[in-house]
């Protein structure tokens, strides 16, 4: 894991980060407001994301952390407009002020891959096994640039492979995904996503299926690409370690709800939610003496059967009846740009200090 090595170096200076939602004059690149995603299932609707709000500024990296089922992938698929037909999406997703949720599929197709791109996990299945990598790269460019000729597309594809650090890109273009190694496939997938210099790159668990050393390389590629192109990155992961090295800001999702949101250093050094605290305690770190990792007891609630109020309540050691189990808990600002959904956050943080 990359945690130990990169943790202390942190992200860029936190002061450069715009505060989420506090309404500065400039509109954020991406503004998600009160996003709720409900899947249709045989046994009735299942809510995957509840009232999620966050902003992404141009060029910044937002880490979205959550375990499987926390709704992080549902949120990213909602932004891409790729949720299965019949899924109920409410709220608002604005890209430079333009509402995406009301766009038609044809209009959305023009946004996908050109203005917002996504890198999926498990590159082996995410790449078409029957098409050469070159053809898939060329397709990514061609669908948004009808005027490009064959030679031009081929050149661009080679350039993209080179950009993500694949050696001998020209020869690699004619190979099929199964002829690539796992790390190279993930790089190819990243190359495909940045084919049209998108404004936002969503990376959905981009390193989950990879070896630790390859993970580091792939993360480096994302970082490098971002430096070159000024693309904003939304990094979705269950791995706090990955976030620590790469993100400027972190958003913690649990059971479809945002629990905490803040600059990466603040969040790591002064977590403002018991769940985040639990996650950090379960994370191996070299800057702490504790040899034992402490797992959080219990299981996340079933999306069908969420508790009223704080979804983490049933597992929380600080849970207080009458305070934590009331509906519509507000976010509390604990420091500039750092919000927590914990109803007792000020009380608990005061006690800790």
Kindly list the residues in this chain that would bind other proteins in the complex (CB under 8 A).
39, 41-43, 46, 68-69, 80, 82, 105, 109-114, 117-118, 120, 122, 125-131, 139-140, 143-144, 176, 178, 189, 192-193, 195, 299, 302-304
Q: How far is the CB of 120 from other proteins (least distance, A)?
A: 6
Q: How far is the CB of 118 from other proteins (least distance, A)?
A: 5
Q: CA Rg, the chain, in Å?
A: 21
Q: How far is the CB of 65 from other proteins (least distance, A)?
A: 18
Which three-class secondary structure state does DSSP give residue 157?
helix
Which of residues 102 and 125 has its CB atom nearest to other proteins in the complex?
Answer: 125
Task: Tell me the β-bridge partners of 249.
Answer: 62, 263
Which of residues 161 and 329 has its CB atom nearest to other proteins in the complex?
Answer: 161
Which of residues 113 and 165 has its CB atom nearest to other proteins in the complex?
Answer: 113
CA distance 335 to 40: 39
Two tokens at 279?
A: 């996650």
Say if CB 2 and CB 245 are below 8 A apart.
Answer: yes
Which of residues 130 and 291 has its CB atom nearest to other proteins in the complex?
Answer: 130
Which of residues 43 and 212 has its CB atom nearest to other proteins in the complex?
Answer: 43
- Beta-strand ranges (E) seen in the chain are 30-39, 46-56, 61-65, 88-95, 98-99, 116-119, 200-204, 232-237, 249-254, 257-263, 332-335, 338-340
Terminal C-alpha separation, the chain: 30
Q: Quick count: other Cβ atoms within 10 Å of Cβ 300? A: 20
Tell me the pairing of strands 249-254 and 257-263: antiparallel
Q: How far is the CB of 323 from other proteins (least distance, A)?
A: 28
Which of residues 127 and 218 has its CB atom nearest to other proteins in the complex?
Answer: 127
CA distance 342 to 304: 22
Q: How far is the CB of 5 from other proteins (least distance, A)?
A: 31
Which of residues 37 and 343 has its CB atom nearest to other proteins in the complex?
Answer: 37
Q: How far is the CB of 187 from other proteins (least distance, A)?
A: 14
Q: How far is the CB of 143 from other proteins (least distance, A)?
A: 5
Say if CB 127 and CB 193 are below 8 A apart.
Answer: no
């Amino acid at each position: 894991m990359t945690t130990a090595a990169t943790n202390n170096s942190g992200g860029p200076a936190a002061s450069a980060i715009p505060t989420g939602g506090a309404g500065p004059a400039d509109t954020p690149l991406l503004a998600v407001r009160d996003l709720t995603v409900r899947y249709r299932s045989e046994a009735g609707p299942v809510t995957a994301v509840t009232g999620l709000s966050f902003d992404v500024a141009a060029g910044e990296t937002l880490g979205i952390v959550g375990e499987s089922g926390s709704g992080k992938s549902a949120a990213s698929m909602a932004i891409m407009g790729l949720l299965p037909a019949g899924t109920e999406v409410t709220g608002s997703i604005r890209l430079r002020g333009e509402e995406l949720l009301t766009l038609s599929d044809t209009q959305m197709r023009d946004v996908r891959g050109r203005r917002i791109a996504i890198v999926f996990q498990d590159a082996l299945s995410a790449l078409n096994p029957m098409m050469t990598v070159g053809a898939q790269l060329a397709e990514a460019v061609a669908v948004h640039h009808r005027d490009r000729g064959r030679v031009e597309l081929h050149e661009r594809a080679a350039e993209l492979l080179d950009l993500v650090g694949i050696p001998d890109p020209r020869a690699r273009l004619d190979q099929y995904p199964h002829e690539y190694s796992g790390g190279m496939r993930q790089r190819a997938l990243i190359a495909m996503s940045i084919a049209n210099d998108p404004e936002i790159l969503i990376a959905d668990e981009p390193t989950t299926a990879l070896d630790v050393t390859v993970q580091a390389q792939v993360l480096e590629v994302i970082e490098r690409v971002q430096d070159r192109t000024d693309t904003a990155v939304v990094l979705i992961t269950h791995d706090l370690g990955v976030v620590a090295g790469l993100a400027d800001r972190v958003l913690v999702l649990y059971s479809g709800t945002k629990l905490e949101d803040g600059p990466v250093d603040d969040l790591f050094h002064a977590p403002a939610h018991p769940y985040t605290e639990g996650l950090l305690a379960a994370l191996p770190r070299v800057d702490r003496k504790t040899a034992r990792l402490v797992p959080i007891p219990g299981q996340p609630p079933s999306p069908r059967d969420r508790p009223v109020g704080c979804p983490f309540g049933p597992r929380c050691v600080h849970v207080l009846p009458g305070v934590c189990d009331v509906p519509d808990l507000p976010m509390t600002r604990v420091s500039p740009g750092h919000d927590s959904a914990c109803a007792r956050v000020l009380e608990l943080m005061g006690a800790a200090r």
